[in-house]
Every structure is written in C-alpha cells, then in structure tokens.
Chain A
Amino acid sequence: MATLVARRRSWLDRVPVVHQLRQSVGLQRGMLIAGLAITGLFLLVALAAPALAPYGFADLRDEAGLFGSLQRPSSAHPLGTTVGGFDVLSRVLFGARTAVFVIAVAVVASLFLGVLLGVVSGYLGGWLDRVLVVVADAVYAFPSLLLAIAVSIAISGGQARLVGGVMAAAISITVVFIPQYFRVIRAETVRIKAEAYVESAKVLGTSTARIMFRHVLRNATRTLPLIFTLNASEAILTLAGLGFLGFGIEQTQAAEWGFDLNRSLSDVTSGIWWTSIFPGTAIVLVVLGLTLVGESLNDLADPRLRGRRAAAGAAPVEATEVTA
C-alpha cells in the first residue's frame, strides 16, 4: 500500500482535464474525448471565425452585388442565405464567437460572486447566511428564462446593440447562475468548517479571514470545474432561448443562433430548411459537447462511478469441481 502513496504524479497529470483523460478507460474515455473534440472545435471556430467565414456576419452584398433573400445552398453560399439576405454559413461561424463571449462573461462573473458569497456565508453563518440563502432560494423560485428576460429588459431597455445586448444576456445569465455556485460552495464550506484541519487552524489562533481563504476556499472549489462545464452548456441554452424569444442581439450587431432561429420560424412552414437546421445544429452540438465533458468529469471525480481496467495480476476465476 505504501508504494501507492509514495509515487509522485508528473506535471502533465496535474493539469485538470488532462489528468482525467489519462485516468479514464472504455466508454467513459470515449465520452470524454468526444466531448473535448466538439468543445475544442467550437472554441477553434470562435477564435478563427473571420478567417473561416466567407463573408462578415452582417454582410448583405459582395463585389457581385446583393446575396439575395432565401437562396438555396450553392457554391457561393454553401449553406444558403436567410430571409434578410445574410449568408447562413458566416452567421453560424460568427455565432460561436457571441456564444463564447457570453459564456465567458456570464460564468466568470457568477463564479467569482457566487464563490465569494458562498464561502463568506457558509463560514460566518448567522443572520447574513440566512438572508443570503433566502435570496438564493427566491432567485431559484423564478423560471430562469423569465428572470433572464426581466434582467435583459432592465439593462438594455429593450434595445439590442452588440455590447448592450451581449452584456444584457451575460448579466441575466449571471443572475441565474450565482445561486448555483453560492449553494454548492456554501454546502462545501459548511462541511469543511467542521473538518479537523479547520479546527486545528482555529486552535492555533488563525484569523477568520486567513482560515476562510487559505484553508476553506481552496478545499471547497474541487467540484467547480464540473459545475463550470455543466453551467456553460446551460448558459448557451439560456442565450439561445433569449434570442429565440426575441430578446437577443440585432442581426446587424452580432450573429446569434437563437435569434437566427427566431427569424427562420416562418421559413420552416414553407419548406426552407437551411435557415433553421444549421444554427439549430450548432446549438445542439455545442451543448452536447459541453455536457459530455461535464458528465464525464463528474463520473471520473467519483471513485464509485469511475471505470477501471480489470486487475491483470490474478488469473480469472476458474471453475473448480462442486460437490453439492
């Protein structure tokens, strides 16, 4: 047993996702790799959208003139054009940018606020804790999309410019997610507060702030990568939902899949499939990829769910004679 403990991990093993990838086997490994591949592709497209896309997301014309409305997929427009005359492929590719931006702002903001509030509330307890828990519960009680719409209207006043629209979407998602981080971190903090190493810090006379940030916080954040990935997929769905309901970003300001879907609603009934299929597929793919990563990380983090290679040392069970 002692030999197990003594072995040091290489630096590669200590990088969060790489470590899990090396640890996984079988189906869990397949899921993780598929998820990572889709997520990687998504990030790559977001990064390289201007190079990949044949036109800008708001372009209506090139040297040859207007694109035309609702053109079938052709060599000039591989995925066709929309009712407003935009190139679908360009809009789908640029949509990845908007999505990444919104996810990054929303998740990072809710992460910092939620974690901070969670640690303080969980460790200090008392009336502050009670008030924050009630507020978090109240936020939970609203349907998240309704809350996001309300916040979005409050921030942008109904106008949908790039920064205003994107920030409105991001902030409205932040408001929905803060209680999630808050709850997870608060629960962990309450558990860790009773651990012997926190008590041992307390009997040393360590100050409350030092205990909170040196001993509690770092131990409470173990589950974060997991919520992070699962929340990212939820953030995309919320963004797409906002756009689909018409609270998105104007098509001339940014490309956003949900809003494009909203605009292609009437096309579907008249047999025009290319305006809705591609943005819809993009949403499904990204959510699938992020969920696969999140779920496999979740399974791998739990030793009871984690698959392992069968032990090779002992021979498999052999049939011995049975006298009954």
Chain B
Amino acid sequence: MSDVVELRDLAITFATDGGDVRAVRGVDLSVAPGEVLAIVGESGSGKTVTARSILGLLPETATTSGAILLRNHADTGTADVLTLRRGGLRAVRGRDAAMVFQEPSTALNPVYPVGWQIAEGLRAHRRISRAQARAAAVDVLRRVGIPDPEHRVDHYPHQFSGGQKQRIVIAMALVLDPGLIIADEPTTALDVTVQAEILDLLRRCRDEFGSAILLITHNMGVVADLADRVAVMYDGEIVEQADVRTLFSAPRHPYTQRLLAAVPRIGTGKLRDKIRPSAAVEELRQDFAADEHLVAPGEPVVEARGLVVRYPGRLRRPGFTAVDGVDLVIRPGEMLGLVGESGSGKTTIGRAIAGLTPVTGGSLRVLGVEMNGVRERAFRPVRRRIGFVFQDPATSFNPLLTIAQCVAEPLVVHGVAGDAREARPRVDELLEAVQLDRSYGDRFPHELSGGQRQRASLARALALDPELLIADEPTSALDVSVQARVLDLFAELQAELRFACLFISHDLAVVDLLADRIAVLHLGRLAEHGEAEQVLADPKDPYTQRLLASLPVPDPDEQAVRRESWRALTTR
C-alpha cells in the first residue's frame, strides 16, 4: 500500500504587514497507513501550518509551492491538494483526511445536538436518510466511548465535559472512516488525567479503525506515548526525522537534543542545587538583606484555616464554591507548589492571597493581615510586600509603556522613586538579575519574546523586595526550552533572595523542580499536602496517584510501563 499522504518540497509563505514570512520551507514528509507520525516543534516552527495545508485550510494571505499528494478514500490514486479548487477540496476534506482541533469547546457548534453535527459530515459526502445518519452517529459515539450513546446523541455540546467533547470531535473525524486523521494539539486544552484518556482513544483509532494519524504537539510526553515516528520542526524546516525510540535514545540534531534536555521530569532533583548565582543576583541580594522584614522569623507568611471562596450566583441561583475549606501554610523563604487541574481552585487561592478575589469564609492571614472582610485601604500597605507573576506574559504589561516604565511602576506607585527616569538605575539592576540586557528597558512589551516578557514580569514582581511572591502558572504559556530557562531563573532568585513563594502550576514535573512542599488541590479541596519528595514518591491520596500516573514521561519504553499502571489505576 502506498503512503496515505506525501508532502514533497512544501513551502508556505505568508504576506504580512512586516513583509513576507516564509513559515515552511522545503518540507518532505510521508505518513504510511496505520502509522502515527508526530510533528513536534515550538510555537512558530510551522508545524500547524504544515498540517493545515494538507486540508487546504490556509488563509488567503498564504502562497504555497511543492506538492501534497493525498491518497483517496478507495485507495485508487492520489490527488495533489495544492492544485484542487473548491469542489475538489470539499470532496477530499473529511473523506480522505479529517481534522481534530485543539480546543473541543470551540470546534463544536453550541446550537446543534452532537448527533446532528456528526451526521453533517455524512450528509456532506453521501445521500443518507435521517434514520441511517442517526444510527451511524450513535454507533461512532459508542466506539469513542461515550456512555449511553442512544440517549446522549441528542444532547448539546455544553452538556458534555471537556474530555467528552474531544471524544465527540474525534467521532466526527472518524465517522467517514478517513485514511488520515490530523490531530492538531488534541490534548493541549485538556487536563492531564483527561489527556491520558484521549491519547488512549487515539491509539484505539489507529488499532481498531486503521487510520493513520498525523499528530501535532509540543509535548514530548505525548509523543513518547503515542507516536511511531517523529519529525522535529524548527523554524519552518524539518531538522530530524526518526523512529520514536531512536529519537528519544539517540537524538542527532543539536536542536532535538536541547529540546529533550529541556523537558522537565519528575525525580531529577531540585533546580536550586544545580545553579550557581550570577553576580547580578548577588547584588540584588544585598539590597534584600538591607531591607527590614516585618514578619517575625518562624511566623508563617500565609496561613489559611478553612478557607472558603465562593463566587456569587446569578438571579437566586446558588453560587459556585471554588475553594472549599482549605488549610495552607507558607513559611518565610519557602516555596510551596500548588498543583491541580483546571477548576480545582488553585488560581482562586492565589488571587485571594493577593487580594484580587474576596474571601467568603474561614480565615486567611497574609503577612499578618486577616483577608476575610479586609478593606482595600487596610491592605494597600501590605501590597508592596507581595509580588505577583501572571500566567500570560503577553497581556500582563501595559502595551503603551516601555519595559523600564512597567518595571518602575511599583517603585513609583509606592513612592520609592518620583518617576520612571529616577527609578532607572534600580530597574537596570533588576533587569540584569533576570538576565535581560538593560537596553531591553527601552523596548515595548510587544517587541519582546514570551520568555523575555516573563522574565521582565519577574523583575517587576521583585522590584520592591517582596517577602511573598505569587506565581500563577508562570511558564505554561511558554515553549518548553524557554520554560526551562525561566524555571532556572526562578530557582536561582528564590534560593538567593529567600522570599516565600506560592508556585501555582498544573504540571507536577515543573513543581517538582522547584517546590519544597506540594499541595494537591482537587475540586476546591486539598487532596494531599506534604513534603515534595514524599508526595511525589509515595502519594497517599487516590487522586494524586491518578494525577501522577497520567503524566506522560518523555521516554517511549518507560511510558509504556506507566501506561499499564495507569490502566490498572483507572479500571480498578
């Protein structure tokens, strides 16, 4: 049998305001029947554009050259997608190759039942009666593991969970039994426990339906779990293509080696033990030491007792309890890792400590101030002793101010400096401590990369020598190699400056690199809380066990073993 799809010397160029961008250059790829080929690469490497070009899903500003030979459904020949016009493309889409999108909640139309949406694909390609379409939809829903499909087929997307929605999107792709499924970051928007289930389903797609899968991802753990063969993309070109075992055990290209080395793994020790502080951080530390800290040694910086945060409901509907009776302590100079999936309340706790979300029950003492019922006026003097690093570096800077002005803002607000110009020497010192050249101070936020912005954000948070730093998923918007650098910096600064830190993350491996203690949140309650080594090596709570087992590791053989233990845990 011939290859399902073959890309020959594919090049894609986009016309933009800043001139032409050659997003993909000279890519040669092929996917054999029943094979899972993973394309990995960082954001901007051209992996998504390559995948979308197979279905002719590029915007009007794109110009393509080369050839994409897609085998047709009946295996009688191939068609070059790039030469197809509307009608031809429409015939190919869904039938010969189907797409699974990243975000299941936006890939489904909210105003139609899921069964109707699945049948829509069937209706587009053949004449089919209503009863037949419904039967086909029920059948495919059952096969992707939706319970009670006869009943659920008439439900609307909002009645399903995120993982179930992704199952439905996969069912839509499978219903026409295409030779190729293109899965663009199919698990990125999902929690890690759900991710394991979806990866399991995709594996079954290959085994039971015989579809070839083109998997686009940035997560090396996902690659190790699912892929047969891997193509590594960097800056629009494929730098390495190899069998999954070969790639992980003996990466040839330096970029691949760097990429693999940057992936955080559990149980590799703390970052701060491996880092020696730079001169710039040393200098900053002297300033810190000179600052008198108001919390008595031994007294906790943050202490929560039965903390409850409830968001009010609308129109007499009951409110939503995001945090339900959590006990937490952060001692001076300690880093607490707060781990949980989306909706577990971890961000809400961070916001409550920073005074952004009101506390509705229990007690939360931050730097000696009781937050339950606190007035903004009383809390404002405490704010200068708290630093906050936000998740998305793209939006956490005022786009109209330069980086230096942004970093100087806390100094100006608290009257340490009269204006941004006066604060500049201190700003330069801070920028150097976070390994940014002082010339970056004159740039605007959009002129910096994500990693640089996140480091500038850290500089701003440290400007007033805080005793407590709250970092809300500071690296989850970053590529894996950039993440590694930011984490190193975090570990270095924390080890040297000894501020207490609440590090919020969904990634256990990241938290393991940094935190002294770990608290695991599940649905607003504390599932487990203890020393990092103890929680990760010997989890007591069944949820923590499931969370740990779901985390794919970047090693195909080890991951196969872990997969079995995950199956045992979930079927038990």
A313–B20 CB distance below 8 A: yes
Q: Does B204 contact A (CB under 8 A)?
A: no
CB <8 Å contact, B409 and A314? no
Give the dominant DSSP class at B's interface. mixed
Count B interface residues, CB 8 Å: 54
A306 CA to B77 CA, complexed, in Å:
40
Residue A271, interface by CB 8 Å: no
B356 interface residue, CB < 8 Å from A? yes
**CA A311 to CA B65, docked complex, whole Å:** 12
Contact B83 A215 (CB under 8 A): no
* Pairs across A and B, CB under 8 Å, 11 listed: A195-B395, A197-B398, A200-B396, A205-B384, A205-B410, A219-B399, A311-B20, A314-B64, A315-B65, A322-B80, A324-B77
Per-residue contact bits, chain B 82-93, to A (CB 8 Å; 1 contact, 0 not):
110000000000
Q: With a CB–CB cut-off of 8 A, which chain B residues contact A324?
A: 72, 77, 79
Q: Nearest-CB distance from B420 to chain A (Å)?
A: 11
B447 touches A6 (CB 8 A): yes
Docked-complex contact B22 and A197, CB < 8 angstroms: no
Alpha-carbon gap, A4 to B515, bound state (A):
37
Determine whether the beta carbon of B395 is less than 8 Å from that of A197.
Answer: yes
A309 contacts across to B, CB distance below 8 A: 15
Contact A4/B356 with A205-B380, A324-B79 known, Cβ cut-off 8 Å: no
A219 x B386 contact (CB < 8 A): no
Question: Do B356 and A23 have beta carbons less than 8 Å apart?
Answer: no
Q: By the criterion CB–CB under 8 Å, are B65 and A317 in contact? A: yes
Contact status of A219 and B400, CB under 8 A, knowing A6-B447, A203-B355, A313-B20: yes
Q: Which residues of A contact B380 (CB under 8 A)?
A: 205
Query: Cα distance A319–B83 when bound, in Å?
Result: 6
A41 to chain B, nearest CB (A): 30
Contact of B390 among A199, A207, A312 (CB under 8 A): A199
- B413 to A314, Cβ gap below 8 A? no
In the complex, are the beta carbons of B21 and A4 less than 8 A apart?
Answer: yes
Interchain CA distance A205-B457 in the complex, whole Å: 16
**Does chain B have a CB within 8 A of A5?**
yes
Tell me the B21-52 residues at the A interface (CB within 8 Å): 21-22, 44
Contact between A204 and B77, CB atoms less than 8 A apart: no
Check B17–A23 contact: CB distance below 8 A.
yes
Q: Is the CB of A313 within 8 A of B13?
A: yes
Closest to B448 in A: A5
Interface centre among A1, A215, A312 (most CB of B within 10 A): A1
A202 CB-CB contact with B under 8 Å:
yes
Provide the residues of chain B in CB contact with A126, threshold 8 Å: none
Give the 8 A-B CB pairs with smallest separation, nearest first: A205-B383, A196-B396, A311-B13, A314-B13, A311-B15, A4-B18, A196-B395, A311-B63
Given contacts A199-B390, A313-B20, A314-B65, contact A204 B383 (CB under 8 A): yes
Q: Once bound together, how far apart are the Cα atoms of A320 and B72, in whole Å?
A: 17
User: Does A210 lie at the interface of the complex (its beta carbon under 8 Å from any beta carbon of B)?
Assistant: yes
Assembled-state Cα–Cα distance A196/B15 (Å): 31
In whole angstroms, how far apart are the Cα atoms of A88 and B563 in the complex? 89
**When the two chains form their complex, are residues B395 and A311 in contact, meaning their CB atoms are under 8 A apart?**
no
Q: How far is the CA of A293 from the CA of B411 in the complex (A)?
A: 43
CB nearest to A199 among chain B residues: B356
Inter-chain CA distance A198–B460, complex, in Å, is 14
Q: Is B397 an interface residue (CB 8 A)?
A: yes
Q: A215 CA to B409 CA in the complex, in Å?
A: 11
Residues B396 and A197 in contact, CB atoms below 8 Å apart: yes
Residue numbers in B under 8 Å from A2 (CB-CB)? 449
B12 beta carbon closer than 8 Å to chain A: yes
Q: Are B410 and A204 in contact (CB under 8 A)?
A: yes
Set of chain B residues within 8 Å of A205, measured between Cβ atoms = 380-381, 383-384, 410, 413-414
A314 to B388, CA, bound (A): 45
Cα-based distance from A215 to B448 in the complex (angstroms): 20
Q: Return A130 CB to nearest CB of chain B, in Å.
A: 16
A110 to B164, CA, bound (A): 51
Chain B residues with CB below 8 A from A318, complex form: 65
Interface residues of A in 167-203 (CB under 8 A from B): 195-197, 199-203
